[in-house]
Structure 1
Amino acid sequence: MPLDISKAYPENGSIIYGTVTSLNCIIVVVLTPVITMAMEKVAMTKKYLLGIILQALSFGAFALSFGVIAGYYVSITLFTLGEILTTIVTGAFLADRVSANFRGRIYGITSFSVAFMTGIVEWNSGWLFDHYGSEPAWIFSVAMTMIAVIASFVLVFTDKREYGELYK
């Protein structure tokens, strides 16, 4: 996104990007408690799935928003809402399903895996952007997120089958 904005608006791209990331911060601070309370009765796997879907939609919106400032704000809003949902679920999900003596190891593996996969996606997106432009980079990001959406669907059904007592 910062590369797209600076390419579309070479003179004031950093200002636009700064306001977009400021919106991200405001949404996180203001809406995290609201979303947490509003989604309290929704199963964690469904919250996670919704979060991943919102992030996928945000990447698609970013791809379509090149040069449209309002589109960047819509995109970051979708992304941030998705990020809030996935963040509030991850720790609680693992705490409910992993015994205390393995929790630290699982958190470590999870944190490492997330950082590793994020690095791979960001590196490849940057490489695609540098060599082919923003459209292939965004398509790659959307494709990677769609894999996460599919995996999240599998998680919803598998988790309900394995931990059905947590859904009552």
Structure 2
Amino acid sequence: MFSHYKGLRREMYVLFFGRIVTNMGALIWPMLTLILTNKLGYSAGQVATIMLVMTFVQIPFTLLGGKLADHFNKRNIIIFCDLVTVTCYFILGFIEVSFVFVVLFFTAGLFASIEWPCYDALVADLSTSADREKAYSLNYLGANIGLVLAPTIGGFLFENYLNIAFIVNAISTLSSTILIYIFIKDIKKINEEVTVGSYEESATHDSIFKVLKERKMIIVYLLYAALSGLVYSQFNFLMPLNLERLYGAKGAIIFGLITSVNACIVIIGTPLITKYFPKVRDVSKIVIGEILIVTGLAMYIFIQGMIPLYFVSIIIFTLGEIFNTLGKSPYLTRRIPASHRGRIGSLSMLFASIFQAFMQKGVGFLADTYPMPIVWCFVTIAGILCITLAAMQLKFDRKTYPLLYTDTK
């Protein structure tokens, strides 16, 4: 089941174990909506407003992360950002939930937003075009192995022992940072040894605008990624809010169990889908994944109060998430110059975050005004538009990137 992950660089396995350790402590991020609503008493609209403000604050940090990833040592940037987030988490472990608490929580998120483009670009740097799906699959698998028990534990700690979750998160993130510091050294030397794909040759002197002008389908991808991010984010926004409305503080426990099931399905499904669907191209995986994600979320129009069906929904959703993840990252990195991975990756995150924040405000307004099934109808309509954009990519990709359909993978 895991044999096809053999043959990757040693550093990829270090990142894999680092992801496991980090996400073992990820007890609190899935609970953000519940912290703001249940602990601080904010409405859904107020939570959406806070996230909108956070998005605007994140803009320069996300762009900075992409710029730094393309010009400096990605490993050192990751280590520095991790140390800042660890410090914030330790402080959060010893203070009461308050406005200052939220500010520190978001400060940790800001430095995480600098780190994300570096991490994604580093995975691409450490893999060849042919191994790209396996590399991202392994990284994604590690993240979810760590998440198996974390959300459930977080759900039980949420009501009375939330501070302990932050301390555990700080310790686990620090452990991951130490692994990266010890075992990942000279990134430049690694880059020189990796073979790039047909469209990945560096274009150091080209601006990001020139790169996008020459690759117009990437702009369509950015539109798709923004809408896809909005739909997917309802897993951590509207779903816990829905459960909190139905079950109060106990909704955190149910949501924690659902999230753990999500991680379990990822652990079982990721290596199997990677192994048995290697001939399904990245762009096709995106379409399949989006259809399953939208189907899983659309079920909430009909299953309010039916707890067993929540778990059927999350299984369908998670299978879609796996297909989508195995398609998205390889799709983008195979079609842009290696010299621009950080900047275009950060632009994709930024574009998705801005769109998501504005539209999330609308979702929050709907959640405060209408019954939950109506709100889920809105999410489903957005999902159908998302599937349409993904289908457009599928239709025009062969014409736009013909070498990817003739090269031997």
TM normalised by structure 1 equals: 0.90
Q: Give the 5 Å matches for 1:54-65.
A: 54-65=292-303
What is the CA-CA distance between 1:143 and the residue it aligns to?
1.1
Partner residue, 2:328: 90
Q: Distance in 2 between matches of 1:35 and 1:117?
A: 30
Partner residue, 2:166: none
What is the CA-CA distance between 1:83 and the residue it aligns to?
1.5
Matching residue within 102, 106, 113 for 2:340? 102
State the superposition RMSD in angstroms. 1.8
Q: Distance in 2 between matches of 1:157 and 1:10?
A: 45
Partner residue, 2:391: 153
Moved over 6 A (4+): none
Partner residue, 1:33: 271
Q: Distance in 1 between matches of 2:248 and 2:342?
A: 45
Between Structure 1 and Structure 2, the one with more helix by share is: 1
Partner residue, 1:139: 377
Higher mean displacement: 113-122 or 26-35:
113-122
Partner residue, 1:127: 365
Q: Distance in 1 between matches of 2:252 and 2:339?
A: 46
SS of the equivalent of 1:9 reads: helix
State yes or no: 1:52 paired with 2:310. no
Q: Distance in 2 between matches of 1:57 and 1:21?
A: 17
Higher mean displacement: 6-15 or 35-44:
6-15
Q: Distance in 2 between matches of 1:96 and 1:11?
A: 45
User: In the superposition, relative to structure 1, how do residues 11 and 81 fare at CA in structure 2: closer, same or farther (>3 Å)?
Assistant: same
What is the CA-CA distance between 1:11 and the residue it aligns to?
7.2
| AA partner of residue 24 (structure 1) | N
- Counterpart contact for 2:301–2:376, Cα < 8 Å: yes
What is the CA-CA distance between 1:67 and the residue it aligns to?
0.7
- Counterpart contact for 1:5–1:66, Cα < 8 Å: no
Q: Distance in 1 between matches of 2:365 and 2:318?
A: 24
| AA partner of residue 97 (structure 1) | R
Partner residue, 1:21: 259
Q: Distance in 2 between matches of 1:121 and 1:33?
A: 34
Partner residue, 2:307: 69
- Counterpart contact for 1:126–1:137, Cα < 8 Å: no
What is the CA-CA distance between 1:120 and the residue it aligns to?
3.3
Q: Distance in 2 between matches of 1:23 and 1:121?
A: 28
Structure 2: which 5+ runs fail to align?
1-238
SS of the equivalent of 2:334 reads: helix
Partner residue, 1:117: 355
Q: How many percent of aligned residue pairs carry the same amino acid? A: 32
- Counterpart contact for 1:39–1:47, Cα < 8 Å: no
Q: Deviations over 1:73-122 (max 9, x none)?
A: 11111211111222222221112111122222211111212223333343
- Counterpart contact for 1:121–1:141, Cα < 8 Å: no
- Counterpart contact for 1:48–1:89, Cα < 8 Å: yes
- Counterpart contact for 1:54–1:79, Cα < 8 Å: yes
| AA partner of residue 104 (structure 1) | G
User: In the superposition, relative to structure 1, how do residues 61 and 149 fare at CA in structure 2: closer, same or farther (>3 Å)?
Assistant: same
Partner residue, 1:7: 245
Larger radius of gyration: 2
- Counterpart contact for 1:43–1:167, Cα < 8 Å: no
TM normalised by structure 2 equals: 0.39
SS of the equivalent of 2:278 reads: coil
Q: Deviations over 1:16-48 (max 9, x none)?
A: 222111101111222212222222110111100
What is the CA-CA distance between 1:160 and the residue it aligns to?
1.6
Q: Distance in 2 between matches of 1:118 and 1:34?
A: 31
User: In the superposition, relative to structure 1, how do residues 38 and 119 fare at CA in structure 2: closer, same or farther (>3 Å)?
Assistant: farther
